């Protein structure tokens, strides 16, 4: 399966088209809470929540300025 990696700490997508054995890199001292989202998943937004395929992925999503 192919995934998109979402970081809930930064509220950003950090990798796309990653396979089951994919790898992500963080800077020294960096932190992340990652969510693997199926590539092609249906995203929707409701207030400050981001949903993918009907599953809440980020409860504190902030709009980018």
Per-domain residue ranges for the chain?
A: 3-58
Instruction: Name the band, by pLDDT with cuts 50, 70 and 90, for residue 65.
Output: very low
pLDDT at 34 exceeding the cut of 60: yes
Residue entry with tokens 């990798």: 15
pTM for the full predicted model:
0.79
CA dihedral 12, 15, 17, 18 (to 10 degrees): -130
The whole-number average pLDDT for the span 9-32 is: 85
The whole-number average pLDDT for the span 18-46 is: 87
């Amino acid at each position: 399966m192919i995934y998109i990696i979402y970081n809930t700490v930064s509220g950003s997508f950090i990798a796309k088209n990653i396979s089951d054995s994919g790898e992500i890199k963080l800077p020294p001292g960096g932190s992340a809470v990652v969510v693997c989202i199926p590539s092609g998943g249906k995203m929707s937004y409701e207030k400050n929540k981001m949903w993918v395929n009907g599953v809440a992925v980020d409860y504190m999503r902030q709009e980018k300025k």
